Amino acid sequence: MDIVNIIILALLVNNIVLAQFLGICPFLGVSQKTSTSIGMGAAVVFVMALANLVTYLVYFFILEPLHIEFMITITFILVIAALVQIVEIILKKASPSLYQALGIYLPLITTNCAVLGAAILAITKNYSLIQSLVYATSTALGFTLALVLMAGIREQLELTGIPKAMKGFPIALVTAGLLSLAFMGFAGLVK
Amino acid sequence: MSLFKEFTKGFVKENPLFVLVLGTCPSLAITTSASNAIGMGAAVIFVLTMSNIFISLLKKFIPDKVRIPAFIVIIATFVTIVDLVMHAFTPDLYSSLGVFIPLIVVNCIILGRAEAFAQKNTVLSSTLDGLGMGIGYTLAIFAIASIREILGNGSFFNMKFVSPEASTILIFIMPPGAFLTFGYLMVVINKLKAKFN
């Protein structure tokens, strides 16, 4: 029950983009086309799950025993940046086809605040290792869900006559607002 | 460009939020009250100015290949300082800004200014650039937060000016209101820009 709760909360009720405002930059930047948004989403799911696993271990096996919890921001961002680099190098060698699909999105992820945000939030919420992994995966899936929905809407918006002052970011933000309004309907799904 | 222009360009012409569209995450999340916006703005001004100063001081020593990790370490250091200071002196603000204080590290404004400005310019102009951009960012989030707090909560700087039983437009204080306010403010700015250019 606990695990199911975490999944529903992270995926729908507290959607990382539409309710918690993390990862807005890629959400607005890479949501022009459905195909690219799925690629970005897959890369985020992969990196976020891995990053939460590694940062969890770093926090509880290095930072806490040494009583340097205040170093959390510096260590986590470095761990994530290094991780993204390593994933990129391994993918390039081991699976060129996957690298082709995800490659261009990987460098963008270092500056995706959703990854650092989920890693820090999992620590502040006192999750266990399993819970943290579940939380990261479903948060990333929630990010993908929002991104793909947004891309679908924006593809349609391309065909409509939008006032000049609203083209680009403004209309995307208003669309995101309406999406977020729709996601508020999920509140109360779980306690 | 004169130093004065370096300082003021971030206010309107190159406003980091409305024109360059950098650092959108915290500007949507913490703009539920004007005092939050001022707190966040102060933190960003401090981190942006200090990291600009240090990056422009160290620009000759940082090898080009590892400049991004080096910048991130410098930025993260100042973010940690802000985090600890706010935790100690303004606990209420600290708890309402929450995870968005450590997340200043990945705020694209700061890395963006380091990359685009501080690593190529003198210490003095980088300082002014950091201050100006920080103030421009603060003005922008203050505008969003004021609209949201006044319409959504009927208050300004946490002082209520409507009776407690009056119903306010709650949607503005909730997540959708953030997107809508930001979106429509940007429309207004685009309109004004088109008119004056």
Does B72 contact A at CB distance below 8 Å? yes
Structural domain that includes position B162: 3-196
The rounded mean pLDDT for chain A is 87
Q: Averaged over B5-26, what is the pLDDT?
A: 82
Cβ distance A19 to B175 less than 8 Å, yes or no, reads yes
The pLDDT assigned to B162 comes to: 81
Taking contacts as CB-CB distances below 8 angstroms, the residues of chain B near A116 are 102-103, 105-106
A65-79, A98-112, B20-34, B43-57: which has the minimum mean pLDDT?
A: A98-112
Percent of chain B with pLDDT over 70: 99
The pLDDT assigned to A81 comes to: 85
DSSP state string for chain B: --HHHHHHTTTTTT-TTTTS---HHHHHHSTTSHHHHHHHHHHHHHHHHHHHHHHHHHTTTS-GGGHHHHHHHHHHHHHHHHHHHHHHH-HHHHHHHGGGTGGGGG-HHHHHHIIIIITTS-HHHHHHHHHHHHHHHHHHHHHHHHHHHHHHHSEETTEE-S-TTSPP-GGGTSHHHHHHHHHHHHHHHHHHHHHH-
For B156, other C-beta atoms within 10 Å of its C-beta total: 15
The pLDDT assigned to A32 comes to: 81
The pLDDT assigned to A1 comes to: 55
Check pLDDT > 90 for residue B64.
Answer: no
A72-76, A89-93, A137-141: which has the minimum mean pLDDT?
A: A89-93
Residue of A20, A24, A84 to mutate, interface with B, max B Cβ within 10 Å: A24
How close B121 comes to chain A (CA, Å)? 24
How close B88 comes to chain A (CA, Å)? 13
Residue of B20, B85, B108, B187 to mutate, interface with A, max A Cβ within 10 Å: B187
Q: Averaged over A15-37, what is the pLDDT?
A: 84
The pLDDT assigned to B9 comes to: 82
Cβ distance A174 to B183 less than 8 Å, yes or no, reads yes
Q: What is the helix (H) or strand (E) element at residue A35, kind and residue range?
A: helix A34-58
Of B81 and B66, the one with more pLDDT: B81
pLDDT in tens, B77-119: 999 999 999 999 999 999 988 888 888 888 878 888 888 888 8
The pLDDT assigned to B143 comes to: 92
Taking contacts as CB-CB distances below 8 angstroms, the residues of chain B near A117 are 99, 103
At B1, the pLDDT band (50, 70, 90 cuts) reads low
Check pLDDT > 90 for residue B190.
Answer: no
pLDDT in tens, A151-175: 999 999 888 888 888 888 889 999 9
Check pLDDT > 80 for residue A126.
Answer: yes
In chain B, the number of structural domains is 1
A68-82, A142-156, B6-20, B83-97: which has the minimum mean pLDDT?
A: B6-20
